[in-house]
Structure 1
Amino acid sequence: MKCGKLPNDVLEDIVISSIKKKNKDIFVGPKVGEDCSIVDFDNEVLVLTTDPVTAAQNDAGKIGIHICCNDIASAGVSPLGVLVTILAPPSSTIDDIKRIMNEINETCEELNIDVLGGHTEVTDAVNRIVLSITAIGKSRGKRYVTTGGAKTGDDVIITGNVAAEGTAIIAKDYYEKLKVKINEEILLKAQNLIKDISVVKAGLIAGEFGVNAMHDATEGGVLGAIWEVAQSSGKGVYVYEDKIAIKEETKIICDTLNLDPLRLISSGCMIITCKNGEELIKRLNEHKIEACIAGKITDEEKIILSKGEEKELSPPDSDEIYRVNI
């Protein structure tokens, strides 16, 4: 099988279809594209998510905390804390564990969340350090947003920098090999994009504004995330590809490595659907969050990508980051 997330059709057939709901307190359970589970807790709901970090060799602690807290924020809810599991191969050192914990603690401090517990183990079952992180949040008044809530006629909004996470990972993990092909200043700018992978603020603003769907763009990039929003919602979407802004450093790295930036892992981008998209963008801009309208939700269950010519958008495949070969 290919590296990366299971294809959505396999995930649905083999994993999700085998899971049976047993408790009425589960408002939102496992579904293709859904970022979080939602559990009823009397006057509030508990929001939970979990993710591994496997593609990054550097900044894994920072990336792991952000991607899980981004999931919580995609429900329009503030993250409260995380549980962290660290699996380290025998070749790891105490300094490796210390570095990752420093990254985790610093990022939790930035987001004002707690490390609630976890597990740390040395095992020959992995050949490099693997993190598995679970994040939780809660919403008073049972207010939350799902991936599958898009409505016909909604504007599709993308916040943040497309492929920021993938660009930063590649620029850092492959720096020595890339610097013979790409200007070092460009590579350093690309590495700095790792500072822009949180969408917590954007998610909370959008949740307060009142939106129909939210989904943070991770593996599969922004096009994969848009596909998942439409699929989860039973809708189609018309995507304005030429309106999706891409940073110059991302373009250069992707062109050099023959990668598609729109399908490169993109923590730092939130996909949002709502009425009055321009009003939400104004609200986001007031908080110095970049955003653009990149599409429109349709009744027809088809995703159309338009840039000069129209073509149907395929489901997300293995992320472009797994195609890097230098």
Structure 2
Amino acid sequence: MADDAAPRRGPRGEAVTLAHGAGGRAMRDLIDGIFLAAFGNAGIAALEDQARLPLADFGGGGLAFTTDSFVIDPVFFPGGDIGRLAVCGTVNDLVVGGARPVALSCSVILEEGLPLADLRRIAASMAAAAAEAGCRIVTGDTKVVPRGAADRIFVNTAGIGSIPQGRELAATRIRPGDALIVNSTLGLHGAAVMAARGDLGLATALESDCRPLGALVEALLDAAPGTHAIRDATRGGVATVLNEFADAAGVCCRIDEDRLPLTEAVRGLSEILGLDPLYLANEGLFVAAVPEPEAEAALAVLRPLPGGAAACRIGTVTGAPAGRVVMTSFFGGERLVDMLEGDQLPRIC
């Protein structure tokens, strides 16, 4: 009891040690001085083994639950870091299912020797991203492994959200005639991380599009309530999402190469490396299947919003060939866009 009543303090030293994962005072100081300082609220400050959330937080509709792990290299990259990425990635998995994020967990695996300054920066970034997304980090876990047993820091986040009554989004609901819409330019996250690794010797101003998508999705659903499906295009890029749509609904997703929104920087990097931007990872881009009569209203409401300025229609859903993605090229020919084989860039998220 005396320990529980002791004043909270931060961790000693400048780097993570194995003692910080041993469950004793050093671990408590790490949690108090870094994670509680960043995420502090009445629920998490109680330091129970579970978060307790009132059912009123879920508004009487459905409950969405997701989890994800993040191992990105480098940990800090232009436009974000592993902490912001973890929060945005988990939140976005909720919102593209129609949910409004309520609460997140934060579990970390730390390598001995990780500078505490880096850990503080990551925790603060997670807290800021959660606030931006309108949710809270309410529970978590910390483990420390010896030097060489991990690569600095791995993060796992789980999230729960409320689904308003009557809202139903699923790839199986996509129908021929739907417009295929994206909210932003393709490939920013993958290109920015690739350049940040320094292996290419390229100097670019590329930044990741890492952002929470909740405000954009809510605006879309207000303007186009008949929207059938939304999915965020992370690993595997837009091509993977379109293939998932086509397979789930038994339809064909037809896109036009000249409609794909690309920045010159992403286009140039892709050409130099022989990569297809359709497969590059994004962390602030979704693909939506919207009924044709609602498509223009959806685009009009997205374009004035942060992260929506480049919103556009990239194609249309048709009936055949079922289960396929077909792209019309700049020159008028057609080619199949298959699922990605392997991984263009390991540890992208």
TM-score normalised by the shorter chain: which range applies?
Answer: 0.7 to 0.9
The offset of 1:199, in angstroms, is 2.1
The offset of 1:114, in angstroms, is 0.3
2:103–2:135 CA contact under 8 A, matched in 1? yes
| Equivalent-residue separation in structure 2 for 1:228 and 1:77 (angstroms) | 20
4+ residue runs over 4 A deviation: none
**SS of residue in 1 equivalent to 2:130:** helix
1:161–1:268 CA contact under 8 A, matched in 2? no
**SS of residue in 2 equivalent to 1:272:** strand
The offset of 1:122, in angstroms, is 0.9
| Equivalent-residue separation in structure 2 for 1:259 and 1:91 (angstroms) | 36
Q: Name the structure 2 match of 1:62.
A: 84
The offset of 1:323, in angstroms, is 10
**SS of residue in 2 equivalent to 1:252:** helix
Q: Given the superposition, is the C-alpha separation of residues 255 and 91 from structure 1 closer, same or farther in structure 2, using an over 3 Å criterion?
A: farther
- The answer to whether structure 1 residue 267 and structure 2 residue 283 are counterparts is yes
Q: Given the superposition, is the C-alpha separation of residues 118 and 71 from structure 1 closer, same or farther in structure 2, using an over 3 Å criterion?
A: same
The offset of 1:165, in angstroms, is 1.5
**Which residue identity lines up with residue 246 of structure 2 in the other structure?**
A
2:180–2:315 CA contact under 8 A, matched in 1? yes
| Equivalent-residue separation in structure 2 for 1:147 and 1:90 (angstroms) | 43
Q: CA offsets, 1:196-241, max 9 Å, x none?
A: 5332222112222210111000000111111112222222211112
| Equivalent-residue separation in structure 2 for 1:315 and 1:85 (angstroms) | 31
| Equivalent-residue separation in structure 1 for 2:172 and 2:188 (angstroms) | 24
| Equivalent-residue separation in structure 1 for 2:296 and 2:344 (angstroms) | 31
The offset of 1:245, in angstroms, is 1.3
**SS of residue in 2 equivalent to 1:320:** coil
Q: CA offsets, 1:264-283, max 9 Å, x none?
A: 11121110001132221112
Q: CA offsets, 1:37-64, max 9 Å, x none?
A: xxxx894100112222123421000111
Q: Name the structure 2 match of 1:294.
A: 314
Moved more, 230-239 or 281-290: 281-290
Match of 1:86 among 89, 92, 108: 108
Q: CA offsets, 1:45-94, max 9 Å, x none?
A: 00112222123421000111111111111022221121111112224232
Same amino acid, percent of matched pairs: 22
- The answer to whether structure 1 residue 170 and structure 2 residue 184 are counterparts is no
Q: Given the superposition, is the C-alpha separation of residues 55 and 255 from structure 1 closer, same or farther in structure 2, using an over 3 Å criterion?
A: farther
- The answer to whether structure 1 residue 279 and structure 2 residue 301 are counterparts is no
**Which residue identity lines up with residue 234 of structure 2 in the other structure?**
T
**SS of residue in 2 equivalent to 1:321:** coil
Q: Name the structure 2 match of 1:121.
A: 143
- The answer to whether structure 1 residue 224 and structure 2 residue 240 are counterparts is yes
| Equivalent-residue separation in structure 2 for 1:230 and 1:140 (angstroms) | 26
- The answer to whether structure 1 residue 159 and structure 2 residue 183 are counterparts is yes
**SS of residue in 1 equivalent to 2:340:** coil
**Which residue identity lines up with residue 222 of structure 1 in the other structure?**
V
Q: Return the index of the structure with the highest Cα Rg.
A: 2
1:264–1:319 CA contact under 8 A, matched in 2? no
| Equivalent-residue separation in structure 2 for 1:66 and 1:97 (angstroms) | 18
- The answer to whether structure 1 residue 201 and structure 2 residue 211 are counterparts is no
2:195–2:202 CA contact under 8 A, matched in 1? no
The offset of 1:294, in angstroms, is 0.8
**Which residue identity lines up with residue 80 of structure 1 in the other structure?**
V
Q: TM-score if structure 2 supplies the norm length?
A: 0.72
| Equivalent-residue separation in structure 1 for 2:134 and 2:68 (angstroms) | 20
The offset of 1:142, in angstroms, is 4.3
**SS of residue in 2 equivalent to 1:322:** coil
| Equivalent-residue separation in structure 2 for 1:148 and 1:55 (angstroms) | 31
Q: Name the structure 1 match of 2:3.
A: none
2:73–2:347 CA contact under 8 A, matched in 1? no
1:85–1:132 CA contact under 8 A, matched in 2? yes
**SS of residue in 2 equivalent to 1:282:** helix
**Which residue identity lines up with residue 165 of structure 1 in the other structure?**
H
Q: Name the structure 2 match of 1:238.
A: 254
Structure 2 gap ranges (5+): 1-57
| Equivalent-residue separation in structure 2 for 1:160 and 1:252 (angstroms) | 18
**SS of residue in 1 equivalent to 2:345:** helix
Match of 1:51 among 64, 68, 79: 68
Q: What is the total number of aligned residue pairs between the two structures?
A: 274
1:222–1:271 CA contact under 8 A, matched in 2? yes
| Equivalent-residue separation in structure 1 for 2:145 and 2:347 (angstroms) | 27
| Equivalent-residue separation in structure 1 for 2:347 and 2:94 (angstroms) | 29
1:202–1:270 CA contact under 8 A, matched in 2? no
1:72–1:136 CA contact under 8 A, matched in 2? yes
1:80–1:138 CA contact under 8 A, matched in 2? yes
Q: TM-score if structure 1 supplies the norm length?
A: 0.77
Q: Name the structure 2 match of 1:248.
A: 264
Q: Name the structure 2 match of 1:214.
A: 230
**Which residue identity lines up with residue 215 of structure 2 in the other structure?**
K
